[in-house]
Amino acid sequence: MSGIEIGIVAVVMMLALIYFGMHISIALMLVSFLAISTLRNPELATRMVAAAANDSLSSYLYGVVPLFVLMGLLVVISGVGRDTFDVFQWLTRRIRGGLGVATVGANGIFASITGISVASAAVFTKVAVPEMRRHGYTPKFSVGVVAGSSVLGMLIPPSLLMIVYGVLAEQSVGRMFIAGIIPGILLAATFCVTILLLAYLRPGFMMQGAAGMGGAAVPAPTAGEAESGMVLALKLVPILALMALVLGGLYSGFFTPTEAGGVGACGALLLALLKRRLSPAKFYQVLGETGHVAVSILFLILAASLYSRMLALTGLPMAIAQWVTAMELTAYHFLFLYLLVVILMGCIIDSVSIMLIVLPIVLPIAQFFGMDLIWFGVITVVAVEIGLITPPFGISVYTVKAALNDRSVPVKEIFKGVVPFFVAMLVVLFILTLFPVLSTHLAYRY
């Protein structure tokens, strides 16, 4: 067998193993080891496993993963999510569909610190869904807006997906973070517009008993209205201070991404202690969960490094690039096919795994077409994030279901609720693809 044939067999075998339930990192390493052994010999394959482990994880940059995970989990423990929602709930109290808009706004602020979509989904299921249900919003909209807006956690910086992409594409993680600001704001704004359109055009989708009304009813005065705007605004001070500390230091160049993660984790720890939400038992639980998440991601990166080296040995990426060239596809033809494949893969595979599998193959093609890899990373993250809310995998949907713990709201109802947000994400993906400057303007300015 030729190297290209071995590469094709390896990719097909890996996808089959994942389909039948093998963990993605194990499948990547096993298939890569077997392919390298076939191409060369088992001794070289063993040495390449050791080299991949050393080269892929010895970098100082990788310290950013556990530090940002720790910061996000400490912010969750501190109760900042509820405080942020209270403020946005008060600000949007007179708007039709205001609680939905409040959920998107609070999720956007929360995402700028946690960087983990699953954390946002879990927190706002507990915080926002009961409040929306109490004010007459339909169950499918209440859970749909939480699952849909939770994807902001992977686009608005800091973002774990941005870190993974930066590592795989050998791009600056700090620059990737900055590139996500405008697309993140655009996506949040599009979600808000979607909610307002639903309130006026499809009130029955949003409000119970609103099918015959001209628009969704304005919620009754909330408990938060009893508090003055100043008191509520003070609830935002802790998270805004943490944002200014981490993102301000990062964007000004005062911190590297790893240092920003360390400073942020320290700030989140102080915040949790000042709010008296962190007992020794909870702190131990947070450390354990941080280790679990960080090790999972780092082990995936290690496996992806070996997988990339195996593909390079087979010559498959270059062969695909030549094949695409021979077909005389334009850059936009390639982009359409690539984004379609990523979105379809999101139906069955988690977001990090998609990037680890696909990027080693497509990055050489993107470079051949002269595409900016920062912009390419942003649209990749958006396309991958769509997979968080698409069936049958939809990890954000299942996170909402688990956190809700309500048998009266089946998974099918949650998937119905996220359909408008799925459409909104497709619109944003189309805009970002057509206008790369939205992703690159800030990234190359600072």
Q: What pLDDT digit, counting tens, does each position of 68-127 carry?
A: 778 877 877 777 777 777 778 777 777 888 888 888 888 888 777 766 676 677 777 877
Cα 349 from Cα 361, distance rounded (Å) = 17
pLDDT on residue 4: 79
% of the chain surpassing 70 pLDDT: 89
Start-to-end C-alpha separation, the chain: 49
pLDDT (tens digit per residue) in 33-45: 888 888 887 887 7
CA atoms within 13 A on the CB side of 270: 11
Residue 245 scores a pLDDT above 60: yes
Closest by Cα among 319, 385, 358 to 169: 358
Residue 226 scores a pLDDT above 50: no
Tokens at 378, concatenated: 């942003």
pLDDT (tens digit per residue) in 397-440: 777 777 777 777 787 888 888 889 999 999 999 999 999 999 88
Residue 6 scores a pLDDT above 80: yes
pLDDT band at residue 224 under the 50/70/90 scheme: very low
pLDDT band at residue 214 under the 50/70/90 scheme: very low
Cα 423 from Cα 57, distance rounded (Å) = 38
Q: Strand, coil or helix: what is 253?
A: coil
Q: Report pTM.
A: 0.77
Cα 394 from Cα 165, distance rounded (Å) = 21
CB 39 within 8 A of CB 2: no
Cα 352 from Cα 334, distance rounded (Å) = 22
pLDDT on residue 59: 65
Closest by Cα among 325, 413, 303 to 30: 303
Q: Strand, coil or helix: what is 207?
A: strand
CB 236 within 8 A of CB 83: yes
CB 125 within 8 A of CB 319: no
CB 138 within 8 A of CB 208: yes
For the chain, state the CA radius of gyration: 22
Where residue 33 falls (left for φ over 0; alpha for ψ -120 to 50; beta otherwise) is alpha
Q: Strand, coil or helix: what is 30?
A: helix
Q: How far does Cα 233 stand from its chain's mean position? A: 28
Q: Strand, coil or helix: what is 137?
A: strand
pLDDT (tens digit per residue) in 41-72: 788 778 877 777 776 666 666 677 788 778 87
Where do the H-state alpha helices sit in 58-116?
64-77, 80-91, 98-114
Tokens at 273, concatenated: 């202690």
Cα 123 from Cα 310, distance rounded (Å) = 40
